[in-house]
Amino acid sequence: MNAQTIEDSQELPLVTFNSLYSLLREEKKTKVLMKLPERFYPGFQNFIEQKQQEAIKLTQNKENSKAMKEQKIIMGSQNLINELLSLRLSKISSLAIKTTIFDDEEFSTKNILEDEQEFFNESLKLSKKSKQLI
Are the C-beta atoms of 52 and 112 separated by less than 8 Å? no
Residue 63 within a domain = yes
Domain count, the chain: 1
Please report whether residue 22 resides in a domain: yes
3-state secondary structure 75-109: HHHHHHHHHHHHHHHHHHHHHHHHHHHCCCCCCCC
87 assigned to some structural domain: yes
**Domain-embedded: residue 127:** yes
The range of the structural domain enclosing residue 62 comes to 14-29+36-131
In a domain, 107, yes or no: yes
- Does the residue 3 lie in any domain? no
For the segment 49-65, what is each residue's pLDDT rounded down to a tens digit? 999 999 999 999 999 99
Q: Which tens digit of pLDDT belongs to each residue from 74-132?
A: 999 999 999 999 999 999 999 999 988 887 666 778 899 999 999 999 999 999 999 88
Is 1 within a domain?
no
Alpha-carbon distance 93 to 102, whole Å?
14
Position 134 scores a pLDDT of: 80
Does residue 2 register a pLDDT over 90? Answer: no
The tally of CA atoms less than 13 A away on the side-chain side of residue 119 is: 16
Cβ atoms < 10 Å from Cβ of 46: 15
Amino acid at 99: T
Q: What is the CATH number of the domain that holds 42?
A: 1.20.58
Whole-angstrom Cα distance, residue 37 to residue 14?
9
